[in-house]
Amino acid sequence: MFRRIDGGDNGTAGALSFDGQAIPFRAGDTVAAALLAAGVADVRDNPVDGSRRAPYCMMGVCFECLVEIDGRQNQQACLVAAKPGMRIRRQAGARLLPEGAL
């Protein structure tokens, strides 16, 4: 589905965790680029109909790549630089609001 343009292997800069699975990444990768390169086909569920969504625009305009990063929901994976040890989780539905937030 997704293939790097250079086609070569420039080595791994580290690994992050996506739903418990180790995902290697290269220096300069965003979280979305690392996930796509690893074959992750979807990163969140639509809160309206439950359909699976994946990174689309890769520049922060479409919000299709929302994930939970280190416990913080609604993070745009295409705008966050991948760092070793990050814990990424698929975002299921709408963001949870803290008790009494409304």
What's the fold here for domain 14-72+81-92? Ubiquitin-like (UB roll) (3.10.20)
5 by DSSP, 3-state: which? coil
Q: What are the residue boundaries of the structural domains of the chain, listed by start? A: 14-72+81-92
Instruction: List the helix and strand counts (H, then E) for the chain.
Output: 1, 7
What is the reported pTM? 0.85
Q: What is the mean pLDDT of residues 29-37?
A: 96
- 65 Cβ contact list (under 8 Å, min separation 6): 31, 32, 43, 44, 53, 54, 55, 56, 58, 76, 77, 78
Nearest to 10 by CA among 32, 25, 30: 25
Say if residue 90 is exposed, middle or buried (CB neighbours under 10 Å; 0-12, 13-18, 19+).
middle
pLDDT of amino acid 81: 97
Position 94 confidence tier, pLDDT thresholds 50, 70, 90: confident
Tens of pLDDT along 65-82? Answer: 999 999 999 999 999 999
Give yes or no for residue 58 having a pLDDT over 80. yes
Q: Which residue has the higher pLDDT, 99 or 81?
A: 81
**Averaged pLDDT for residues 14-38:** 96
